Amino acid sequence: MTRILMVCLGNICRSPLAHGIMESKLSENHFYVDSAGTAAYHVGNAPDKRSIAVAKKHGLDISTQNARQFKVSDFDTFDYIYAMDQSNYKNIVSLARHPNDIEKVKLFLEANTAIQNKNMPDPYYGDESDFEYVYKLANKTCAIIAEGLKH
Task: Write out the catalytic residue numbers.
Answer: 8, 14, 122
12-20, 56-64, 99-107, 143-151 -> range binding ligand 4NP (CB under 6 A): 12-20
Burial tier of 30 (Cβ tally within 10 Å: 0-12, 13-18, 19+): exposed
Task: Identify the burial level of 12 via C-beta atoms within 10 angstroms of its C-beta, where 0-12 means exposed, 13-18 middle and 19 or more buried.
Answer: buried
- From the list 6-14, 25-33, 72-80, 138-146, the region that binds ligand 4NP by CB under 6 A is 6-14
Please select the residue that binds ligand 4NP; options are 4, 5, 6, 13, rule is CB under 6 A: 13
- Whole-number Cα distances in Å, 108 to 17, 22, 44, 116: 13, 12, 24, 13
Contact status: 34 vs ligand 4NP (CB under 6 A): no
If one counts every other C-beta atom within 10 angstroms of the C-beta of residue 64, the result is: 9
Radius of gyration of the chain, Cα coordinates, nearest whole angstrom:
14
State the nearest-atom distance from the C-beta of 98 to ligand 4NP, in Å: 27
Identify which range of 9-17, 27-35, 57-65, 103-111 contacts ligand 4NP by CB under 6 A. 9-17
Cβ closer to ligand 4NP: 24 or 91? Answer: 91
28 contacts 2 by C-beta, under 8 angstroms: no
Residues contributing to the site for ligand 4NP (CB under 6 A): 8-14, 37, 41, 122, 124
